[in-house]
Structure 1
């Protein structure tokens, strides 16, 4: 127990608590002290001039009718229950309302838990603050909160820290740092398996989270294996929200394999669970992905309807980053439906702050000087959650997708210069992320454009670069796959 002059366990605070409780109960100092101690000792203690021993505190606590822990720390047995109820309210607010409102509730719990010395409740509040920051697109703040959880729980077993590790990996994924996101998740999986801590909940959380960066990097085999392991772990986990998230991840791998009917069925399961749990953000993500499934199937009318539903739900929760990402996919559907002007009007506001430093592919080097001049690098700017803008460090994959779509629109209307600039901007953004499949597609588009313009050498360089990304997607930047748990 600390002997510092401040804090709930300090000598002065203990003295004040003894004085307050004694006065409330109508005891004199002598009545409280006897038979083991003197009135003078109680007077000195109440003045904060002496720190009571454990034996003295236990005697005083018994006489005052409180627990030893309450007298020593200021925490009543009801405090933990009250804080946990407040955490439940904050999580409900995050699920059904705006993240900024939920963050205020989580911050109140965090401050109170810190004041009272409740480490577990403080960690839960910080985890909630991290989830709020993810939703609002404040990715640096989200990482700070998740790292604080890991520090607070450093002495705890790894499964206790896994939700924070997963949160940090998602923040890096949303920032476009796909390799590092994979590294965090795979390292945690390996550590769990190497230490024999085969916690089904922790492993399911990690495997489910790994699917998205694997898919974005083009590491489809790893994504499929992660989905298989997640499905095998699911019967051992009693958490409907996590099971629903797993079904969403599995659906991504099914879409990539062309199994759209199965993907839609998996999303339907997730959607049913989210509706029961009233988790609005994740429900919006289900509509988002179902829109993507319908777009892959060529059912553009249904795709547009689902994507608009997702966008409206996310916008109502002020989830700016996710709203912007959905709008990129909605714009793709609008372009394919022959409404290029609507698509362009949706995309341009998203890129007012996008950062481009210039692609590194040989083919793009020839044509990127003008794009660099028009769109200066802004990678070091802080997150601005009130805007839905997509930047190199905030939604980089979708920022690249937006430039790709604008390039296609410009190309279709014969504006070769604008198309070239947008393709180069997209390449610059995506090369940082390692999104192999998207990079290969962009190199093909750029190569086709350059070839039509008669710039054959530059076109060949673009094609070669694209083939390099296609050759072994994901394997050149990822190490060995993590060990698998015993099933």
Structure 2
């Protein structure tokens, strides 16, 4: 048998007390435990914690006591860590295939057992899973707290091991509308990885793919394109197919912004195939979401509606509340463009309760922007203005420069048409201010790049 790492062993005093307790439970004397290889005096010294016993001595004592060597040395049942890892995989699969509530229950039980036995790495993995379940269900504050606890569990681990928790925390801030802080977390982690030579492909791919969304929402298209190129270059080196699939979905958004629709569609098709293989229901639903978005930008509205409805059905079936609301906003835009404004407005009103400044601010603003356009089309300028102003307030908090500029234009046009020229000019000036301050010049220096 192989030896346990020094860090996995309890200290001699703890082992000594454990030996004494187990010996007493079995009614053995120190002589009976020691024979034939050791002396009663040695066992007495060991039980007092005054000697660090060798593996050979501990194996002898474990055999006499009828317990596994690992349990005697660590206090943990044999194979506990392996059993917990198997259960962890089952919980991960449950989350990936849409059973977030069942996964959360499994992760919670795992976390408690891992913590009770001092298995920090497994406790961190369970906390990471709890964070992902919480985000999946729209509980962003709880998710962020779980990710922070996972980071603390891994405080002594190398940075690549902490990246999933850091990325989770950034995602929770991003979905809450705190775009700049999300970018700061992702970029500072990338910078540290690249500057210190910790070029872990999976970690880098996860961070670059995760940064594309916040970059796009901030209007930092050049930086989003650079992140997409780096992610594509890293993909062949990454070992996790789920990460590669997620990267293809994120990259599609940048390709779309550059007008490369066919390439975006191809990237999403690759991601969808990988997710089908992996049975990752949420990510596959998100692929349909992005494919619908691509179709809508290309003017193929009927196909866009079909893709978005499929995404909505998949997400609703597993009650992924936040993502469901975000897809509903995209679908409402397609419905409005297809001349079904009443249906679009009903859908938007149904989801605005699920989207707030703290939870999905960018999409909440998108919902109010669309409601404003629908109200304008119906010649209800008062309602339109109210929705535009609410959208502006949400976007200002999130710092989404490109969306702010567009919204200021819409509000300015409305004010001008209703005779409020000075107010319209103020709105246009505000929009120009956002348009002339793109994310590429306001985010600070780009992070160091990996040596590809």
Q: TM-score, normalised by structure 2?
A: 0.92
8 Å CA contact 2:127–2:150 kept in 1: the answer is yes
Distance apart, 1:185 and its partner CA: 0.6
Structure 1 residue 69, shift from structure 2 partner: 4.0
Paired residues, what number? 440
Q: Whole-Å Cα distance in 2 between the matches of residues 161 and 341 of structure 1? A: 47
- The 1:52–1:80 alpha-carbon spacing in structure 2 relative to 1, beyond 3 Å, is farther
SS of equivalent residue, structure 1 residue 475 = helix
Aligned to 1:278: 279
Q: CA deviation at 1:278?
A: 0.3
Provide the secondary structure at the position in 2 that maps to 1:394.
Answer: coil
Q: For 1:257-302, what per-residue CA distance to the aligned partner results, in whole angstroms no more than 9, with x for missing partners?
A: 1111111110000000000000000000000001111111111111
Please point out which of 374, 377, 383 is paired with 1:412.
377
Report the Cα distance in structure 2 between the residues aligned to 1:106 and 1:398, rounded to whole angstroms.
30
The answer for the alignment partner of 2:115 in structure 1 is: 114
Gap runs ≥5 in structure 1: 353-388
The equivalent of 1:244 in structure 2 is 245
Paired with 2:392 and 2:39, the residues of 1 have a C-alpha distance of 78
1:251 deviation in Å? 0.1
**Structure 2: distance between partners of 1:145 and 1:268:** 33
**Pair 1:52–1:34, CA change in 2 (3 A):** farther
CA displacement at 1:148 relative to structure 2: 1.3
Q: 1:53 to 1:323 in 2, by over 3 A?
A: same
In structure 2, distance between residues paired with 1:18 and 1:144: 43
Counterpart of 2:409? 444
Match for residue 167 of structure 1?
168
Counterpart contact for 2:18–2:72, Cα < 8 Å: no
Match in the other structure for 1:369: none
Aligned to 2:258: 257
For the aligned residues, what is the CA RMSD? 2.3
Q: CA deviation at 1:109?
A: 1.1
1:183-194 correspondence runs (5 A): 183-194=184-195
Question: Is 1:399 aligned to residue 364 of structure 2?
Answer: yes
Inter-CA distance 13–134: structure 2 relative to 1 (3 Å threshold): farther
Structure 1's 37 and 4: CA in aligned 2 closer, same or farther, altered over 3 A? closer
**Alignment match, 1:484:** 449
List gaps (5 residues or longer) in structure 2.
1-8
Match of 1:465 in 2: 430
* Structure 1 residues 58 and 112: alpha-carbon distance in aligned structure 2, compared to 1, 3 A threshold: farther
Alpha-carbon distance in 2 for matches of 1:232, 1:2: 45
Any idea what SS the aligned residue of 1:54 has?
A: coil
User: Residues 181 and 213 of structure 1 are in contact (CA less than 8 Å); yes or no, is this contact kept in structure 2?
Assistant: yes
- CA–CA distance in structure 1, aligned partners of residues 119 and 262 of structure 2: 48
The 3-state SS of whatever aligns with 2:440 is coil
Contact preservation (8 Å) 1:32, 1:60: no
How far has the Cα of 1:135 moved from its partner?
Answer: 0.5
The answer to whether the aligner puts 1:59 opposite 2:61 as a matched pair is no
